[in-house]
Amino acid sequence: MSLTILVFAKQVPDTKNITGKAMKDDGTVNRAALPAIFNPEDLNGVELALALRERYGGKVVVATMGPPAAANILRHALYMGADESILLTDRRFAGADTLATSYTLAAAARKAGPFDLVICGRQAIDGDTAQVGPQLAEKLNIPQLIYVAEVESVEAGRLRGRCLIDGGYEIIESPLPCLLTVVAEANVPRPAGARRLMQYKRAVTRSELLARHGGRDYEDANVLAEEEASLRRRGLWIHEWTAGDLAVDPNRIGMAGSPTKVKAIQSVVLTGKGSKQVPPTDEGIAGLVHELIAEHILS
Ligand SMILES: Cc1cc2nc3c(=O)[nH]c(=O)nc-3n(C[C@H](O)[C@H](O)[C@H](O)COP(=O)(O)OP(=O)(O)OC[C@H]3O[C@@H](n4cnc5c(N)ncnc54)[C@H](O)[C@@H]3O)c2cc1C
């Protein structure tokens, strides 16, 4: 059987290298202060999709919602081996919480589909909520396997996965189509292929093509149409969709559709207050337990 797979990937601020004020006053991320990277577990998602395509045949499409520069992670996915990519970009998508994000991604999946599998990372390193994958499955009305560490098999329209749970694994089987969220231990993402890099570094979105011609005011539609057709033929066209291209309610996307507001973030640094030796005897342990009860740590 061959599998048509959609992977959702997010461009995130590199939270290990914060170079300025991380948040803006409105509680959204100050992306200008932070170098942007491919969300790490979404690379595991792309790798899983490519490995499944190699096992069963099919097609891998990678999509992201973000600012125009998020096209960079789509090019990276093409370097790794993805067949097609879609950028969802529109000022009206900005400031989305998980509710608005999953609503928008669901609309994009419906427009791009149908798919046998939708794959997300477990969580993004900026919001860290791990809510988007499960919410997306609900909105698409398909079953979900979360924290997937391995896809054991896909046979007769059913997928069998090994999912991480506290202290172990569980094996879950689901009919297709279904959604997976993937953990880092699932695989080691392959690096960009050198030949693919040389080929796909020229892949562009419509906005990037317009920018080559000096911007949005460029009016020679024939030249644009010819260039677009040539790029499409060579697989160098990154689809770019705005809110107008999706069947979405403007009140359910971006800031307008987001009840969650991040008021502030705090950098919490845990510092030890020294240590205390407890003798490995019954008396030593009884003394420690009494102390913990007295300090209301144990009850
Ligand atoms: C500090 C901070 C705290 C936040 N807290 C909350 C909160 O409590 N509640 C809330 O609703 N929002 C919150 N947000 C907003 C949140 O970052 C955005 O809603 C974001 O668009 C999606 O949530 P996430 O990053 O937590 O994604 P997660 O749910 O962690 O992402 C899981 C997976 O979904 C996919 N995915 C997520 N976003 C995209 C995208 N834009 N394009 C493609 N694929 C995507 C990826 O595969 C990703 O690995 C917070 C943001 C910040 C910066």
pTM of the predicted protein model: 0.87
Quickly list H helices, the chain: 40-56, 71-80, 98-112, 132-140, 194-200, 206-212, 221-233, 282-294
Neighbour tally for 207: CB within 10 Å: 16
Q: What is the pLDDT along the chain (299 residues), one digit of tens a residue?
A: 799 999 999 999 887 766 666 677 776 767 667 789 999 999 999 999 999 999 999 999 999 999 999 999 999 999 999 999 999 999 999 999 999 999 999 999 999 999 999 999 999 998 889 999 999 999 999 999 999 999 999 999 999 999 999 999 999 999 999 999 999 999 999 999 999 999 999 999 999 998 888 776 666 778 888 899 999 999 999 999 999 999 899 999 999 999 998 777 766 666 767 777 888 889 999 988 888 888 888 87
Distance (Å) from CA 98 to ligand 1 centroid = 5
pLDDT at residue 279, rounded to an integer? 87
Task: Please name which of 224, 207, 225 lies closest in space to residue 216, comparing C-alpha atoms.
Answer: 207
CA dihedral angle for residue 28, residue 144, residue 113, residue 248, rounded to 10 degrees: -40
pLDDT at residue 18, rounded to an integer? 65
> Which neighbouring-strand residues pair with 180?
119, 145
Cα–Cα–Cα angle for 214, 220, 221, nearest 5°? 115
Q: Would you give the DSSP letter of residue 170?
A: E
pLDDT at residue 262, rounded to an integer? 79
Ligand 1 proximity of 74 Cβ (cutoff 6 Å) = no
Pocket test for ligand 1, best of 10, 61, 87 (most atoms within 8 A of CB): 10
Ligand 1 proximity of 128 Cβ (cutoff 6 Å) = yes
Q: What totals of helices (H) and strands (E) does the chain contain, helices first? A: 8, 11
Distance (Å) from CA 133 to ligand 1 centroid = 10
- The Cα 248–Cα 273 span in angstroms is 53
Q: Give domain limits for the chain.
A: 3-203+238-257
276 φ, ψ (degrees, to nearest 5): -130, 135
Q: Confirm or reject CATH 3.40.50.620 for domain 3-203+238-257, answering yes or no.
A: yes
Q: How far is CA 146 from the centre of its chain?
A: 14
Closest residue by Cα to atom 17, ligand 1, is: 127
Distance (Å) from CA 84 to ligand 1 centroid = 23
The contacts of residue 215 (CB under 8 Å, 6+ apart) are none
Q: Would you give the DSSP letter of residue 83?
A: S
> Is residue 246 within 8 Å of 111, Cβ to Cβ?
yes
pLDDT at residue 27, rounded to an integer? 66
Class of residue 269 by CB neighbours under 10 A (exposed 0-12, middle 13-18, buried 19+): exposed
Ligand 1 proximity of 102 Cβ (cutoff 6 Å) = no
Task: Please name which of 98, 11, 23 lies closest in space to residue 63, comparing C-alpha atoms.
Answer: 11
CA distances (Å), origin 133, targets 162, 167, 248, 263: 17, 22, 19, 24
- The Cα 256–Cα 81 span in angstroms is 36
- The Cα 34–Cα 15 span in angstroms is 8
